Chain A
Amino acid sequence: MRRIFAQTRKELTQIIRDYRTLALALLLPLVLLMLLGAAISLTVDNLPIVVQDLDQTAASQNFIDAFRASVTFHVVYWPVDRQPADALTSNKARAVLIIPNDFGRDIARGINAPVQLLVDGSDSNTARLVAGDASQITEAFNAGAANGRGQPVVAAMRFWYNPGRSSKKFYGPGIFVLGLSMFPPLLAALAMAKEGEQKTILQVYVSSISAHEFLLGKIFAFMVVAFAECLLMLALLFTYFGLSLAGDPTPFLVATVAYAFCVAAFGIMIGAAIPSQAAALQAVALGGFLLVFLLSGLIYPIENIPVALRWLSNLIWGRYYIEIVRDALLQGGGWPANWYKVLEIMVTGAIFYGLAWRTMRRMQVRA
């Protein structure tokens, strides 16, 4: 036990004395969380829209006013002598609303008047939101005009867990996990590969420390780094992102300890397997960043990944932790919803540790 903590202390001293790794460990996750948390959002507002009013009557002006009043759209000027589709190709607008000649007359006569909406489909998700919002505005306009002759069935929408539909609250926990999956293993792999590269590992072999003690000492050190990051980022989540704990926090606490172990063991494993700092860095960047970024439902839902790739996401440790953090901060499902995810993280951590230990033992034989 004493030897383990001595190893941990030595490792932490090494981290603190290198300003570049210290900045990487503590500053960069915060910057990343701020930047990505503010930047990632698939829901858009203030989209430029061009209106071509060929009718120029009071009815058409009323209809356009409904669009002017919406937060989603922002009506921009477009000269009448230019093709409306040009506004889309030149990136001046994301949609064009065309009101035909007889709009006002048709409405007054009780005939349904068609209105065309050209949507820039190059961003498919935004296009869907634009069309949805435009049709909701039109529905509202129709309902207002149809005095009393309202819709028979009305939907009352309630948005649970995130009533303001704030993107920040959904992506914040995800980026928190991304930071934890990337920086502690990065430092761990660097430290471990450095021992191999500079051959200081030989000193470890000749000392009385055992492979388990050595590995656990290193892992504890990087768990401390992970906890420090965790506290800093949680402080940011609770203040800037306006999140708070929902429901029972114990699954989150247990999972955080397990996850810190898991990512530290992952880094140590990579560092032990690849005794070159540059190559180990690349491997961790690939495993920690790319896989968690792509296959854990961080930005885009897992259900949309083609089946051939989707099974891979079941192996990604970050995926379970993202779900647990989101649950703890937004949904509050507690143990019944999360026990198996915590178990998955623990099993993955144990596998990483086992693999690291095996490589260590082999290295000892080889040296």
Chain B
Amino acid sequence: MKKFFQSVFNYRVRALVQKEFRQIRRDRRLAISLILPPTLQLILFGFALSATVSDIRLGVVDDSRTPESRELVATLTESKSFTSAGNYFSVDQIGDALSRNKLDAAVVIPYDYARDLQRGRPVTVQFLLNAMNANTAAIAQGYAEGVLASYNSGLVGQGIHANFQQISAPTVSHRGLVALMPIYLFNPGLVASWFIVTGVFGLLLILNGSIVASAAMVKERERGTIEQLLMSPASTSEIIIAKIAPLFILLCMMVLFAIGVIRVVFNVPFHGGLLLILGGAALCILCGISIGTVIATFSKSAEQAQLTSFFVNPPLSTLSGAFYPIEGMPHALQRLTVLNPVYHFVVISRAALLKGSGMSSLWPNFLALFGFTLVLVVLSVWRFRKQLS
């Protein structure tokens, strides 16, 4: 093992690695762009992206104007989910307010609301939801039905509306009801940033790795200094190893930094083994570097490399499940995610950090990630060699 290591990192490689390190150190922009943007992006994404729905602006048309109807409105608006956004006199007015985005939801209480309740008849109350955003509408619907259910159980029980119970309760013995008790495992407070941060982490590793690698690779070509490297006694594989090793080490430092941010700023629990995450992250970095190298071999200048990456990065990030759940995609696209290394790391980091899953359940993802890394590294070495000769 030691012999192998010595033969790979012989004095030529060490000299070249040293050269690369010096180059990166003196090119301050590259060094900064290695560490700073990923961390900043992680913080920005974690804070800015959240799907939580609260304080839905609720407008009210109360045609009943009775204590009963006011009680219903109070029950709705006293919950954290809805805030009162004014009373309206007609459905037309409230429709207008909805279309001007002054309201997110509206409730229309019919004029015979209190009378029907007292007579023990079921009453229908209309909810209008602005369903432009499908997700917000679905969650608002859940909230409204939850509030109504608890309001109903208050009506059926003891209280001022005891009439309802008396009149409507059937004399025959009734069946028991099912009471659903949901428990949120792994994230009991339903903190949105835990989902985003654990996903974006992997995406940033690969995207930044590829950007930095393509910039470093294309530079030698742009400046023509690659000829000098070829004249040196080092072989092509030694040149490649020397190019990749410093980037790999620096990006690993970035990983540690990012993990610190995830732990300290976002308070994500670390249930699983840190080794799993680090192992996955190392594979991810290699993937990113290889993608960058391949892009660089197809480009003659830095801006061409960047333009090419515009064709590569969107599919990588879209089909990763970093920002939104995979399950929401059409099935054809869901199957494509298996071909995305980012997806596998996102699964690993979420499962290992939040759920504490171990290798026993994550091995398929690791295997896939390892396979992609191997293929990409081989591809990039082959492309780079072809370019050199």
Contact = CB atoms under 8 A, between A and B. Distances in A.
Interface stretch (A229-237, A252-260, A297-305, A359-367): A297-305
B176 A107 contact: yes
Contacts of B156: 152
A46 B326 CA distance: 11
- For B131, B173, B318, the residue with the greatest tally of chain A CB atoms inside 10 Å of its CB is B131
B55 to A, nearest CB: 7
B306 interface: yes
B134 A166 contact: yes
A331 B325 CA distance: 27
Interface in A1-49: 20-21, 24, 28, 31-32, 35-36, 38-47
A41 B134 contact: yes
Interface string A215-244: 000000000000000000000000000000
Contacts of A186: 310
A89 B357 contact: yes
A278 B303 contact: yes
A311 interface: no
Contacts of B45: 294
Given A127-B190, A309-B48, A41 B324 contact: yes
Contacts of A336: 100
A78 interface: no
A151 B151 CA distance: 10
Contacts of A165: 131, 134, 137-138
A121 B137 contact: no
B100 A299 contact: no
A205 interface: no
Interface stretch (B17-25, B141-149, B279-287, B373-381): B141-149
A157 B125 contact: no
Contacts of B250: none
A88 B174 contact: no
A61 B142 CA distance: 25
Contact of A167 (B128, B134, B307, B315): B134
Contact of A38 (B129, B184, B333, B350): B333
A115 B122 contact: no
- For A35, A132, A333, the residue with the greatest tally of chain B CB atoms inside 10 Å of its CB is A132
Contacts of A121: 184-188, 190
A119 B185 contact: yes
Contacts of B98: 160
Contacts of A114: 179, 181
A28 B310 contact: yes
A90 B168 contact: no
B351 A337 contact: no
A300 B182 contact: no
B361 A337 contact: no
A121 to B, nearest CB: 3
B303 A153 contact: no
A154 B124 CA distance: 5
Contacts of B194: 122, 124
A139 B324 contact: no
Contact of B185 (A63, A85, A290, A301): A85
A235 to B, nearest CB: 20
Interface in B94-150: 95, 98-101, 117, 120, 122-139, 141-142, 144-146, 148-149
Given A134-B180, A167-B134, A153 B125 contact: yes
B307 to A, nearest CB: 6
A153 B148 contact: yes
B99 A333 contact: yes
Interface residues of A, number: 111
A138 B178 contact: yes
Interface in A122-177: 122-129, 131-136, 138-139, 141-142, 145-163, 165-167, 169-170
B388 interface: no
Nearest to B154: A152
Nearest to A145: B175
A111 B195 CA distance: 39
Contact of A162 (B131, B308, B318, B333): B131
A167 B176 contact: no
Contacts of A136: 142, 145
Contact of B355 (A89, A124, A132, A145): A89
Interface residues of B, number: 106
Interface string A327-350: 100111100110000000000000
B191 interface: yes
B323 interface: yes
Nearest to A327: B101
A139 B129 contact: no
Contacts of B307: 20-21, 24, 281
B192 interface: yes
- For B101, B120, B173, the residue with the greatest tally of chain A CB atoms inside 10 Å of its CB is B101
Nearest to A137: B180
A153 B118 CA distance: 12
A32 B314 contact: yes
A355 interface: no
B144 A155 contact: yes
B184 A127 contact: yes
B180 A135 contact: yes
Given A43-B135, A170-B132, A278-B306, A145 B177 contact: yes
Nearest to A46: B327
A90 B356 CA distance: 10
A125 B135 contact: yes
Given A45-B327, A124-B190, A157-B129, A129 B139 contact: yes
B126 A158 contact: yes
Contact of A127 (B134, B177, B187, B304): B187
A342 to B, nearest CB: 15
A10 to B, nearest CB: 20
10 contacts: A85-B185, A121-B188, A122-B354, A124-B192, A135-B142, A154-B125, A159-B129, A161-B132, A294-B48, A309-B48
Given A128-B190, A278-B302, 13 more contacts: A36-B318, A40-B324, A110-B175, A113-B179, A119-B182, A124-B52, A149-B170, A152-B152, A153-B148, A154-B125, A159-B137, A294-B49, A304-B50
- 4 A-B pairs closest in CB distance: A132-B142, A121-B187, A41-B328, A90-B361
Interface of A: 20-21, 24, 28, 31-32, 35-36, 38-47, 63, 85-86, 88-91, 94, 106-129, 131-136, 138-139, 141-142, 145-163, 165-167, 169-170, 186, 190, 277-278, 281-282, 285, 290, 294-295, 299-301, 303-306, 309, 323, 326-327, 330-333, 336-337
